[in-house]
Every structure is written in C-alpha cells, then in structure tokens.
Structure 1
Amino acid sequence: MDNNNQPLSPNHLQGHVRPPNNSSASSFTDGANDIPPISGIQVFFREFLVESRKLWYLAAPAIFISLGQYSLNFVTQIFAGHIGTLELAAVSIQNSVISGFSFGVMLGMGSALETLCGQAFGASQVDMLGVYMQRSWIILTITAFFIMFFYIFAAQCLKLIGQTSEISEAAGAMALWMIPQLYAYAANFPMAKFLQAQSKMMVMAVITGVALVLHIFFSWLLMLKLRWGIVGAAVVLDASWWFIVVAQLLYIFSGACGRSWSWFSWKAFQNLLGFVRLSLASAVMLCLEVWYFVALMLFAGYMKNARISVDALSICINIQFWVMTVALGCNAAISVRVSNELGAVHPRTAKFSVVVAVVSAFLIGLVPSIALLISRRVYPSLFSNNAEVQKLVYELTPLLAICIVINSVQPVLSGVAIGGGWQAFVAYVNIVCYYVFGIPMGLIMGYKLKMGVRGIWYGMLIGTVLQTSVLLCMVYRTNWNKEASIAEKRIKQWGGEPIVRENDVEN
C-alpha cells in the first residue's frame, strides 16, 4: 500500500486483521489479535524486533520532521551568533521565551488530536479525523489572537520580568516580525496530528526537508549577505513555517487522505466547549514542560554577566532540544502506537510498545551524550566566537550530557500519556515535580549557594528526574485493559460509532 496516497490502516501496522466487535469494552479480555503473553527471553527479543519495526516505521520520519522543524530555529541562532552577542541573545530569548511560549501552547492544544485522532483511527472511525482537525483549527486560531498581544508587548514583558533593557528591546523588535509564525503554528499543529494519526509521516518529512534547505539558504542571504540582521531572521522563519503549512494543506486538499478529509463540515462547530477542555489539558501538560526550560533561560538573564550566561546556556539548551527532537520523534511514534492499539482494543500490544520505545530512547540518548563529552573542547566554537561563552559551554557540557540521557526518555513517557489520554493527570505531576521541587531547588543552588548557572540547572534537573520517575511508575502500574475500555468510551463521546465485536454478533 502506498502510504502517501491512502490512509495506513492500523491493521497494516499490526500485521494482522482485527475482528469485528460490538460489546462495551468494559467487559472484554485481551483481544484475540493482541500479542500473546511473552514467556522466555527468545520470545521477548523476537517480539521486541517485531514491535521495533512497527515503531521505527513511524519514528524514523517523525524524528526527521522534529529535527527539521527544530533546526529552523537552530540554524537561525547559528547565523545570529556570527553577527554579534546581542543578536544571539535577542534571537535566543525570542525563540526560547516568546516563540517558546506560543509553541508550547499551540503544540499542547494541538496534542489533543493525538489522543482523539489516534484512537478514532485505531477504531476505524476515519470520518471523524477531519472534523477533529477543523475543531482544533478554530480553537487554536482564537488562541493565537490572544497570544498575539504578548508578541506586541514583548519588550515590556521581558523588562517586567527582569531582562536587561538592551536584550528586551532587541527581542521585542524581532517578536513583532514573528507574529505570522504564531498563526502558522495554529494552522500547522492540527494538520500535523491529523496526518500523524494516519501514519502519513513521509510526506511531512519531505515537506520539512525542503523547508529546511530553503531556510538555510535564505537565512545566509538575508542575515549575512544582505545584513538584515534579526529582521532577516524573523522574515525567513515566518516564510519557512508558512511554506510547511501551505504544502501540507495542498496535500490534504488533493484528496490523498481519503475518507479522513471530506472537506469542511458544520460538525466542526459542535461540542467546541468539550474540545476546548481537552485541548487545555493537553496544553497545560506540555507547556509546563516547555516553560520549565524557558524559566532556566530567564534565570540566567538575572546573572551578573547576563549576556554571557544567556548565550552559553542558549547554546546548551539548543543542543539539548536538538537531540531531544529524536526523542520527540519517538514521542510521536509511541503516541500513535498506543492510541491506535487502545482504539483497536489491543492492550497488551500497547503495553509492549511502551517497553520498546523507552528502551530505544534511552540507548539513543547515550550516543550524543558521549559524543559531546569527547568533543567539548571543540564544539563550542561552532556557535560563538566569544571566548567567555566558549569556556562556560565547556564547563556546562557534563551537565548537558546527563540531561540529554534523561530527556531522551521523558518525551517518550509523555507520548504514552498523550496516546492514552492522561494529559490532565500528568499536568498535576508536572506542577509538583517542576514548580514545587525543581525551580525552587534551582534558585536556592544558583543564588543562595552561589553556584551560578550550574546551580540553577542542577536544581531543575532534580525536578526532571523526579517527574520521569513518577511517569515510569505510572506506566508500570497502568491497567491496559481498563485503558482500552476508556478509549472506546472516549470515541463514542466525541462522535464515533461503537466498536463491533465478533462475540457479540454471534450472541
């Protein structure tokens, strides 16, 4: 089957045909086509390889998409670093704080579709996917309008929270030029989740790859060659994101998604309030994670030598986020696998998918961590010409390596939460671990104990370790049969048809 032209059936990923079912999932036992109980090491490794192929079929293009889209900001900051320290600080603050805020809100609200579209697709309720996407478009566009005022008054907001006047003015000027990107986020994320649920990753990867190539060329042209500075950076970022949006729209409107897109429908305006609640739960969960790292940047801006601290920390965080895009690819893949399998009533398969994803993400995180430790005397010069910045990056590298390993596993666990629809609970976990423990510990170690940027990062790392540990325990103790039951109820709640079961037809 050509997955670029037709929706990929969840049965294609599973390698078997799901029988029809009809009764309430609350009374089922593991589906007949679920994986059998695993007994013995040989059986475990065989099933591990089978599930790895299914996971990486989704994860490989998803990783490329995450790398490509994150690299848009990454490339911009590299060019800004070769213009000057003020420009690098301004672009870093704008991307991390202002765009980072809107990115977290929009991606988080769009992530509600990962649960709904993924489970509906797994249950063969394909017709509802387009309706869900349109509802999300409406909600995210309205949200973008209100967030736009943060962009308009960005300079004042940054000064209010204690950033230096020089950096605030430069970042605020860039933010005004970045408003088109905000609306691109509102259009893009619902489309991305819509396509992702159908395993249409390859077309998204191609579009992202073309956008990245164009972005590199025009960033060089406008920022360095034509000397447009941070204005050029904003213009190219806006254009790159809108290129992605328009290309994906053309693909969807072309009819390549089959029954999942049947053009615009008035159903999109139904049950908007309930959809808003689910979107807000998703947004809070993800934003609390994104803002945690934004807070690290802000606290660095309060140090005595703010420009050096912000520049060095922005380099480290950007490397961490760049590596985390691999884990975010696994996040997308495991979210699809869990939601599809729960929607198809295959709880054991969903559980085993989680095991494979967590092990794979941990091993992947080790590779860049070791590479950074080996090359820590060399790589800082790639991002800045300033000797002080290079020295601080060198000193922060061991801490960066530890964070990369931990933050390779954490997004995968968040993907499991999204696929299972646990966003509200994880939001509470994030509040306690990050904001009750992590940030206060960071402030105490950074300022009270006079450990500087390293102290802030040490304290916040404690919060990350605690949050990851809680999610691991939660996943370990999950009743996957119950989660599959909840998935069917959720599909009915949002307009899908009940799943038909073979044994009920016979009865």
Structure 2
Amino acid sequence: MSRGGGEMEERLLSGSETEQRRESLYLRKKIWSEVRKMWRIALPSTLFRVMSFGCIVVAQASIGHSSETGLAAYALLQSTFIRFAYGVMAGMSSATETLCGQAYGAQQYHMMGIYLQRSWIVDLFTATLFVPFIVFAGPILRLLGQNVVITETVDEIYPWVIPFLYSIVFTMTMQMYLQAQMKNAIIGILSILALFLDIGLTWWFVKVMGMGVHGALLGLNISSWSLVIAEFVYVCGGWCPHTWTGFSTAAFVDLIPMLKLSISSGFMLCLEYWYMSIIVLMSGYTKDANIAISAFSICQYIYTWELNICLGLLGAACVRVANELGKGDAEAVKFSIKVVLAVSAVIGVICCALCLAFGGQISYLFSDSHRVSDAVADLSIVLSISILFNIIQPVLSGVAIGAGMQSMVAFVNLASYYGIGVPLGFFLIYIFHFGIKGLWSGMLAGVGIQTLILCYIIYNTDWEMEVKKTNERMKTWTLKLPAIESSLISTIDEDRK
C-alpha cells in the first residue's frame, strides 16, 4: 500500500512537472510571438525616427564644422521654435496613430484613408499657425534677451526652416497610417534612402559649392520632401488598395472630433519636447552663450537619439494596444504592455552605459572646439541619468495614445513638468547657483514624477472598460461603405498574420 501510494505520488509529481513545462513553453512562445509583433512595428518606426532625426543632425554637424555662430543660431532656432512645432506635429499625428490602429483592429479598413486625409487638413492648418513665429524668431529671441549676434544669424536662416516644417505634416501622418496596417518595411527603407541622400547633398552644397549654413539646410529640405513624395507614391499608387480608396469628401466630416483628439495629442507631446528646449533657451543667458548653447544642444541630440529608439517602441506600444482594443482583447493589451516595457528597459540601460563610457568624445562629431567637448563631458553624468529616466516614460505614453488617453496624459505632463520640474530647476540654478546642470537636474525630477504617475494610471486602468470605449468610438466615427467583400477582409487578415 505504501509502495503503491508512493508510485501514485510520483506520477502526480511527474504530471505536475509536465504541466509546468507546458505552461513555461507556452509562455515563452507567447513572449516570442509578442516580441516579433512588437519589433515588426518598432524597428521600421525607429529607423524612420532615427533617420529623420539623422538628417537634422547632418545639418547640425555640417554647420558646426563651418561656423561656431551658425551652430549656435541653428541650435537655438531648432531647439526652441522648430522643436516646439515638431512636438505639436508629432503629437497631432499620434491621433492618426490611435484612430488608424483601432480601425485596423476593428476591421474598419476603409476608414484608415479617411482618417489620414482628415489629419492632413487639421495638421496643415496647425503648421500654418506656426509660420509667423518662425518668421519673427530672431526679434522674439532678441526681445527675450538672447545674444544679438546669434539672433541676427537666426534672421538669415529661418526661411529655410519653413519648407521643412510643412514636410513634417506629411511624413509623420503617413508613417502612422502605414505602421498601423503593418506596412512597416517601406517606412524603414525610404527613411534610410532619405538619410543617404541628405548626406550626399549636404556634402555637395557645403563642401563643393561652399554654401555653408544655407547649403546644409537646402540639403535637409530636399531630402525631407523626397521622403514625402516617395510616401505619397506608395500610399496613392496602389500599394495600399484596401485602406486607401482615393481622395474623398468624407475627409471633411467629423473634423471637430478629429481636431479635439489631435489638439490633446499635440499638447501632450509638445509639453515634452518644449521641456528640454527650456534648458537651451536658458543657456543663452549664460556668460559664454555660444559654448553653453552648443554643448547642451549636443547633449540634447545624444539624448534624442536614444529617445527616438524609445519612440519607435512608443509606436509599437501604441499600435499593439490600439489593435488589441479594436479586437476587444483586454488580456492581450496587458501582455503587450509588459513585453514592450521589458524590451525598452534593456535598451535604455545599454544606451546609458555607452553614454558614460564615451562622454565628451561624441562632441567632436558636431564641433572641433575643445571647449565645447569639455562642456559636454561635464554634462555627461546628467545626460546618462536622463537616458535612464527615459526608459519607461515613452512606452507609457504610447500605451496612453493607443487607448486614446491623450488628454489625461497632457494634464499629467503639465503638472509634473511645469508645476514641479521647471520651478525646481530654477530654484537650483538661481538659489544654489548650480548652473545648467542644476536646471537640468531639477527638471529631471519632473520627468521622474511624471513616470510614476503614468505607471499608476496604466496599472489601475480597467482595460475591459477601454475595450467598450473603443467600440463606441468606432461606431460613432465609422462611415459605412456600400459593401465590403468578405474576401477583402480575409485577404487583409492573412497579411496581418
């Protein structure tokens, strides 16, 4: 009896171990499947952002090697007005990402092209509102007490920035539209080609033609609009037959709801983009403004390289959350969030270690000045901490965008960044005289608080309720077509697998 009981216990234990192995194998397969889906979105999205930003960096590097004042002027203009406008455009384009992602998950494919056209109308109107601020950037900066020599150079280069601003409207929105339907490879390929074109054109205009700052910005405009034209050809030329059915007057329907979602999205992201720009603006009030602005702008570019990788993961989080909400699968939403957060954490730690290892040497990519290099090295510790803080926050923002929570995140950003971070930074710079490092450190506290609040919000979100909200949004915003063949839906579903 004792022996028989022992054998039974062994069989039970063996069965339990087998079940655990099966569960472990199933979990590994599930994680690997989610990682594949995530990188299918994140890699092309990251390439798009990194390569697009790379074009801006190529212009910065070319200007920095030809004129120290030109470098400071470009850095000041790009890090304030252009960065602010870019943040608004990126934020407003995220409304396209939310709606297209949810429409794709809900199999409302015909609405995606209409959402794209609505976003063009809304974003073009918004971009036009920014043009006067760019035109009068020099006088505005002088009114704020910035260095006169630097701002006079701003007066010379601002016309080159306006075409680039309008190109952002189309590249951003078409990228969101394409990645929502898993047509991601084309995004990465076109972005890489645009960067190589920009490098070649900038070298020709600056080194061969001797056009200096103007040549660098001309190369930036040609490459950015070449990307727009290529994306137009892809979208309108028959490669998106199920989601692009041509230009439609339906694009003018429900513009107000689209505008509201776009404004809250733009407000959310522009608060983040402008946050770092405040430090560049404050650098202009220091004793050696050229060195301070140049050094911090270089740190900001390094920070933005890593941020663009995280923004690729933001796009993946947004699309995965939006798709699963559109399908009505709340459990899949929660699992996707856990996987993308884990991947982002690994990437952030690697980037932080690289920043600490190389420090000020990176500055020689942008400037030959040893003084600028020393200033960058002095800021490298704070830069590495910023990168660490940047691990989770973009992904949480992506989850919020996918769920359509932009308004809530906008208020969180406003309170944590500008209610806590900025006042603390000014306190450290003016009371304790810690300089730019003090300002930056205080503002990092705002980033930390914002991250904690977003963690709390996402953790306590009722995703079943979010599924119901998504269903209601799709019912309200969807326009019926006469008929959508079942074969069309099955064809797209095959592409999604």
TM-score w.r.t. the length of structure 2 is 0.90
Partner secondary structure for residue 367 of structure 2: coil
Shift of 1:344: 0.6
Matched to 2:54, the amino acid is S
Matched, 1:196 2:153: no
Q: Give the Cα separation in 1 of the matches to 2:362 and 2:27.
A: 40
Within the candidate set 173, 177, 192, 1:209 is matched to 192
2:108 corresponds to which of 125, 128, 139: 125
Report the Cα distance in structure 2 between the residues aligned to 1:172 and 1:345, rounded to whole angstroms: 53
Cα distance in 1 for partners of 2:275, 2:307 equals: 15
Q: Is the aligned partner of 1:218 residue 2:201?
A: yes
Contact 1:94 1:174 in 2 (8 A): no
Which of 273, 276, 289 in structure 1 is aligned with 2:256?
A: 273
How many Å separate the matches in 1 of 2:236 and 2:247?
A: 10
> Would the aligned equivalents of 2:361 and 2:373 in 1 still touch at CA under 8 Å?
no
Given that 2:306 and 2:387 are in contact with CA atoms closer than 8 Å, whether structure 1 keeps it comes out as yes
Which of 454, 474, 487 is equivalent to 1:491?
A: 474
Task: Identify the residue that residue 339 of structure 1 maps to in structure 2.
Answer: 322
CA distance in 2, matches of 1:154, 1:133: 31
Larger mean Cα displacement after TM superposition, 108-117 or 374-383: 374-383
1:340 is displaced (CA, Å) by: 0.4
Q: Secondary structure at the match of 2:359?
A: coil
Identity %: 37
2:47 is paired with a residue whose SS is helix
Tell me the secondary structure at the aligned position of residue 375 of structure 1. helix
- The CA deviation string for residues 223-275 of structure 1, in whole angstroms up to 9 with x for no partner, is 23322122112211111111111000001111111221110111111111121
Distance of 1:264 and 1:187 partners within structure 2: 15
1:106 to 56, 70, 89: 89
Q: Partners of 1:141 and 1:378 in 2: how far apart? A: 40
Q: Report what 1:74 is aligned to.
A: 57
Residues 360, 376 of structure 2: 8 Å contact kept? no
CA RMSD of aligned residues (A): 1.7
Query: Matched residue of 2:287: which SS?
Result: coil
State the partner residue of 2:15.
none
- Cα separation, 2, equivalents of 1:205 and 1:383: 25
Amino acid at match of 1:455: G
Q: Which deviates further from its counterpart, 90-99 or 314-323?
A: 90-99
Q: Is the CA contact 1:335–1:419 (under 8 Å) kept in the aligned structure 2? A: yes
Please list, as runs of the form range in 1=range in 2, the aligned pairs for 1:146-157 lying within 5 A after superposition: 146-157=129-140
2-structure distance, mates of 1:432, 1:224: 47
2:135 and 2:159 in contact (8 A); partners too: yes
Structure 2: distance between partners of 1:497 and 1:472: 38
Deviation at 1:405, TM superposition (A): 1.8
- The alpha carbon displacement at 1:379 in A equals 2.6
Correspondence 1:372 to 2:355: yes
Q: Deviations over 1:75-112 (max 9, x none)?
A: 11111111122111112122211221211111111111
Residue 443 (structure 2) aligned to one of 422, 441, 460: 460
Pairing 1:447–2:427 present: no
* Conserved? CA contact 1:94–1:172, under 8 Å: no
Choose which of 199, 213, 222 in structure 2 pairs with 1:239: 222
Output the amino acid matched with 1:290.
Y
Matches within 5 A, 1:77-96: 77-96=60-79
Q: State the partner residue of 1:396.
A: 379
What amino acid sits opposite 1:261 in the alignment?
W
| 1:229 paired to 2:212 | yes
- In terms of mean alpha carbon deviation, does 135-144 or 411-420 score higher? 135-144
Which has the higher relative contact order, 1 or 2, with Cα contacts under 8 A spaced 6 or more apart?
1
Report the equivalent of 2:242. Answer: 259
Q: Which has the higher helix share?
A: 2
CA contact (8 A) 2:352 2:388 kept: yes
Which letter maps to 1:197? A
CA distance in 1, matches of 2:310, 2:391: 5
1:141–1:183 Cα contact (<8 Å) kept? yes
Residue 163 of structure 2 is matched in structure 1 by: 180
Q: How does 1:415-434 map to 2 (within 5 A)?
A: 415-434=398-417
Structure 2, unpaired ranges of 5+:
1-21, 482-497
Q: Which has the larger radius of gyration?
A: 2
Distance, in Å, in 2 between the alignment partners of 1:41 and 1:149 is 59
Deviation, structure 1 residue 281:
0.6
- Once the two structures are superposed, residues 117-164 of structure 1 have per-residue CA deviations (whole angstroms, 9 ceiling, x without a partner) of 100110000000111111111111111222111111111122222321
The answer to whether the 8 A contact 2:40-2:184 is kept is no
Counterpart of 1:305 in structure 2 is: 288
Q: Taking structure 1 as the reference length, what is the TM-score of the superposition? A: 0.88
1:208 offset after TM fit, Å? 0.7
Task: Give the distance between the partners of 1:233 and 1:172, measured in 2 at CA.
Answer: 16
Structure 1 equivalent of residue 300 of structure 2: 317
